[in-house]
Amino acid sequence: MKRDEILARIIEEQNKVIESLQNSVKLYKKESDMDEDDTSDPDDYARQTEAKDMQLRFEKMLTKEKNDLNFVLAEKENHYSEAELGAIVETDKNYFFMAVALPSFKYNGKDVFCISPEAPIFGKLRGKKVGDKIEVGPNNFEIVSIQ
């Protein structure tokens, strides 16, 4: 089934994002945990503070991405008949996963776009059914299936 295969790819991509963020957190944590005995220059303290700020930012992003992954994992058993949060909408040109923001990838020759509820196209898709058409900029799409 297409939904299972697409969700598996989304989970794979989500795990890559999480791994990258975890590495960034580790890097900035190491930089912000300098030994005060080794730090005498005011610039060192400033860099340590900046590193701590970056660590906290990356930790916040990491938390969000882990929550997104949990959402996607919980979606494995769900199926939809209209475009809403969690649905995979297939159009004549591509796929849209209506849940999380991730880089696009190819599936069976079509691009898969993962869009968050904050994306303008999410609102244009919400509530649509098979056979409905949507216009996004210069592009027109016809919905051929919803899973």
Q: Rounded to two decimals, what is the model's pTM?
A: 0.86
Torsion region of 104: left, alpha or beta (phi above 0 gives left; psi -120 to 50 gives alpha): beta
Domain-wise residue ranges, the chain? 2-74, 88-146
Among 8-17, 28-37, 96-105, where is mean pLDDT lowest?
Answer: 28-37
Classify burial at 55, counting beta carbons within 10 Å of its beta carbon; exposed 0-12, middle 13-18, buried 19 or more: buried
* HSE toward the beta carbon, residue 2, CA cutoff 13 A: 18
| pLDDT tens digits, one per residue of 55-110 | 999 999 999 999 999 999 999 999 999 999 999 999 999 999 999 999 999 999 99
Strand ranges, E, within the chain: 88-91, 94-98, 102-107, 110-115, 133-136, 139-146
Cβ neighbours of residue 43 closer than 8 Å, sequence gap 6 or more: none
Q: At what angle do helices 2-32 and 42-74 cross, to 10 degrees?
A: 160
